[in-house]
């Protein structure tokens, strides 16, 4: 939904920075709510402090989740490298636990680490 569409549906004129927040809310609402339903509901709750606080809280939690996902990937990559360097099934299994089999293999390829017999066995399972 564009800023113009939102303003036409609600009758509100809003600054661009506020629209970016509203657009993010609309996108997070998902496919279950169309533009008209969102705008109608927004008009009823536009002054809700509680709703805005929940939105801010969800945004903060999503940022934390993204950070944790990045940390998990970084940790798994370190485990993959170390597992290959010292031929450790324990470290490899921990990386797989963090990433899953397919992502583990994908990351190993990205890191330029040669597959071992276990990795080839995994690949054949996926084919």
Q: How confident is the prediction along the chain (127 residues), in pLDDT tens digits per residue? A: 999 999 999 999 999 999 999 999 999 888 889 999 999 999 999 889 998 899 899 999 999 999 999 999 999 999 999 999 999 999 999 999 999 999 999 999 999 999 999 999 999 999 8
Tell me the CA distances in angstroms from 80 to 31, 77, 109, 122, 124, one per residue in order.
Answer: 38, 5, 11, 15, 20
Q: How far apart are CA 64 and CA 69, in angstroms?
A: 9
Q: How far apart are CA 87 and CA 46, in angstroms?
A: 58
The domain ranges of the chain are: 1-47, 68-127
End-to-end CA, the chain: 41
């Amino acid at each position: 939904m564009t800023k113009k569409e939102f303003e036409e549906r609600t009758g509100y004129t809003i600054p661009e920075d506020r629209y970016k927040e509203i657009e993010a809310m609309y996108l997070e609402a998902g496919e279950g709510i169309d533009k008209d339903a969102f705008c109608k509901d927004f008009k009823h709750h536009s002054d809700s402090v509680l709703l805005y606080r929940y939105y801010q809280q969800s945004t903060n939690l999503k940022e934390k989740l993204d950070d944790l996902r990045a940390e998990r990937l970084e940790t798994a990559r370190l485990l993959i490298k170390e597992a290959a360097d010292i031929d450790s099934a324990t470290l490899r299994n921990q990386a797989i636990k963090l990433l899953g089999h397919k992502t583990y293999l994908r990351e190993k390829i990205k890191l330029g680490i040669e597959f071992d017999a276990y990795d080839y066995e995994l690949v054949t399972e996926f084919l």
